[in-house]
Amino acid sequence: MELYELTIHELHEKLKKREVSSVEATRAFLDRIESVDPRVNAFITVTADEALKAAEEADRRIAAGETTILTGIPVALKDIFLTQGVRTTCASRILDTFIPPYDATSWVKLKERGAVLVGKLNQDEFAMGSSCESSAFGPTRNPWNLECIPGGSSGGSAAAIAAREATATLGTDTGGSIRQPASHCGCVGLKPTYGRVSRYGVIAYASSLDQVGPMTRDVADCAIMLGAVAGYDPLDSTSIDRPVPDYTASLGPEVTGLKIGLPKEYFIAGLDPDVKKTLDAAIDTYKRLGAEFVEISLPHTDYAVATYYLIATAEASSNLARYDGVRFGHRAKEAAGLIDMFARSRAEGFGAEVKRRIMLGTYALSSGYYDAYYLKAQRVRTLIMHDFLQAFATVDVILTPVAPTPAFRIGEKVNDPLQMYLSDIFTIPVNLAGTCGISVPAGMSGDGLPIGLQLVGRPFGEEAILRAAYAFEQATEWHKQKAQL
Amino acid sequence: MKITRAEVEHVARLARLELSAEEAEIFTGQMDAILAYVDKLNELDTTGITPTSHAVPVENAFRADEERPSIGTDNAMANAPDRVDGFFRVPKVIE
């Protein structure tokens, strides 16, 4: 097996035993990126020199016996995480040349443990999208089929795992942006509970929904990465001061007696036959392992997409007001006065999807429409949250599809934003409820595209979904499938 | 029609976003379709339902008001498109 195909725990064993060095592993990834990324386009920036320096330092730490599970492990970050001295674009022309003066807390935590950054990953511009097509740096392609989208918005973070260009990556998830690309690319992706991971230094999209999470080759790696980045951060006033459990210790093959809820609103007639088949087979696997299934109802599911696109765009219109061409970012050359400079800089710097969402959000917050749209959506959000709380009174985890179809073709939904928005129907409710969800490889379409299943847990119930995901993974072979490139 | 071209142009001004005539036309149609879709929320009676701004209740987060090191003027201004003597320079505000 090539070094770039190993999991964190496998590579860690080899590093610890000094069978390989971090410099060798890092070189293997840099070579791999050079050979496959012209086709995949998962990376916006490759940090080869910095990576090799960090790998040398990691090798010194390993030699000195100061090894953590992440020491010397090559990782990559969605280009939404600020990295001091390394260009961070959020896949937008408006931040084309932005060099952050400080690091995101989640990157600080990985770096302190000795992880090696090989580069910054492509995404939808400002994390607004479900396909990675809205990037100013061109679309990322799905390593399983280069004509298909990798999902979004963390499409580069998922594609880099599937193309074996990093051992593990971090993404962000506002309405499904970790879980949906994980499903489409056949990797593991976890959106933690709101407040579980610090968002300091993560470029804001919709602040009441955004959350940072890991994307990995298997569930054990996911537990390792979550354990590293989770925890209270005084620099993020929305992070929660609550102990971080040992997620790795919570993994086990046992699910006997686990009560799994199947929400009837998610198993609808329009579900793609391959997705349906995958879910049915997964349910059988869990039954064989001794889990119990309970039919539940999340009655307000059908209102989630509308609720999300009002709340998320309203918050986005406010968050993106900071891009004004004054303190950082692109400034228009020709302008008749200050206001005109703002309007032109933003017109030149933002892509179509970002403009569309700023427009929608501004409209929803504007005088005369605030109560009818934004406040109404916040009230429906309460109903959606209650659906989940009620369900968790009788079940331990909830099993659902991640996306209604496998990855679609590049260009297929670009001109129909509403159709694109509806592809997030099964992931959005989890963000609105503020709870946690994981996508795990569970099957393959007739066309050879991966399909994931989603497990949703109680708020701060990451251990339960990791455990249930691990048991499924141990009983199946889907996570071992490899995209041919 | 949920939204007119004139309203789209008004919202663009509020958002400090210059739209081309073509963009204004496309956005009018797309926003109209999206607003018609989100109207489905009115099927629900939400009288007496408390709005949720954050899923996890967060209180005001206070910290001691103590002096701490900052990143400094040079770092803070390093990405500015135009600056002079520690100030951000912008086009003339008042003629």
Residues of chain A in contact with residue B53, where contact means CB-CB under 8 angstroms, are 208, 378
Interval A223-265: pLDDT, tens: 999 999 999 999 999 999 999 999 999 998 889 999 999 999 9
Contact of A208 with chain B, judged by CB distance below 8 Å, is answered with: yes
Angle at B90 between CA B84 and CA B91, to 5 degrees: 130
| Antiparallel, parallel or unpaired: β B83-84 and B87-88 | antiparallel
Q: Are residues A41 and A154 in the same domain?
A: yes
Query: Does residue A332 form part of some domain?
Result: yes
Query: Does residue A335 form part of some domain?
Result: yes
Neighbours of B89 (CB within 10 A): 11
Give, for A440, the enclosing helix (H) or strand (E): strand A436-444
Query: Does residue A415 form part of some domain?
Result: no
Contact of A98 with chain B, judged by CB distance below 8 Å, is answered with: yes
Last residue of a domain, one of A327, A346, A378: A378
Query: What stretches of A366-461 show up as alpha helix (H) in DSSP?
Result: 376-391, 417-422, 428-433
Average pLDDT over chain B, rounded to whole?
Answer: 93
Per-residue pLDDT band for A425 (boundaries 50, 70, 90) equals very high
Residues of chain A in contact with residue B62, where contact means CB-CB under 8 angstroms, are none
Sign of CA dihedral B26, B34, A79, A483: negative
* Whether the complex's predicted ipTM surpasses the cut of 0.90: yes
Per-residue pLDDT band for B95 (boundaries 50, 70, 90) equals low
Closest CA to A106 of A25, A169, A194, A197: A197
Q: Give contacts of A 400-439 with B, CB under 8 A.
A: 417-418, 421, 432-435
Q: Which tokens hold the place of A477? A: 């072979």
Q: Are residues A30 and A148 in the same domain?
A: yes
Q: Are residues A248 and A351 in the same domain?
A: no
Q: Which residue is associated with the tokens 């770092």?
A: B75
Domains: count for chain A: 2
Q: Are residues A45 and A112 in the same domain?
A: yes
Query: Does residue A438 form part of some domain?
Result: no
> How far A474 CA sits from the closest chain B CA (Å)?
33
Contact of A344 with chain B, judged by CB distance below 8 Å, is answered with: yes
User: Among A240-249, A306-315, A419-428, B36-45, which stretch is predicted with the lowest mean pLDDT?
Assistant: A419-428
- Domain residues for the domain of A232 are 3-254
Contact A329/B81, CB-based, under 8 Å?
yes
Q: Are residues A220 and A349 in the same domain?
A: no
Last residue of a domain, one of A355, A378, A401: A378
> How far A194 CA sits from the closest chain B CA (Å)?
7
Rg (CA), chain A: 21
Interval A381-424: pLDDT, tens: 999 999 999 999 999 999 999 999 999 999 999 888 888 888 89
Query: Does residue A239 form part of some domain?
Result: yes
Q: What domains are defined for chain B?
A: 5-43 (1.10.20.60)
Task: Tell me which residues of A are annotated as active site.
Answer: 78, 153, 177
Q: Which tokens hold the place of B79? A: 């990405």
Q: Are residues A249 and A327 in the same domain?
A: no
Residues of chain A in contact with residue B92, where contact means CB-CB under 8 angstroms, are 337-338
Query: Does residue A106 form part of some domain?
Result: yes
> How far B58 CA sits from the closest chain A CA (Å)?
6
Last residue of a domain, one of A349, A378, A407: A378
Q: Are residues A248 and A336 in the same domain?
A: no
Q: Are residues A330 and A236 in the same domain?
A: no
Contact A338/B55, CB-based, under 8 Å?
no
Q: Which tokens hold the place of A112? A: 């302190």
Query: What stretches of A113-188 show up as alpha helix (H) in DSSP?
Result: 155-162, 179-185
Q: Are residues A15 and A125 in the same domain?
A: yes
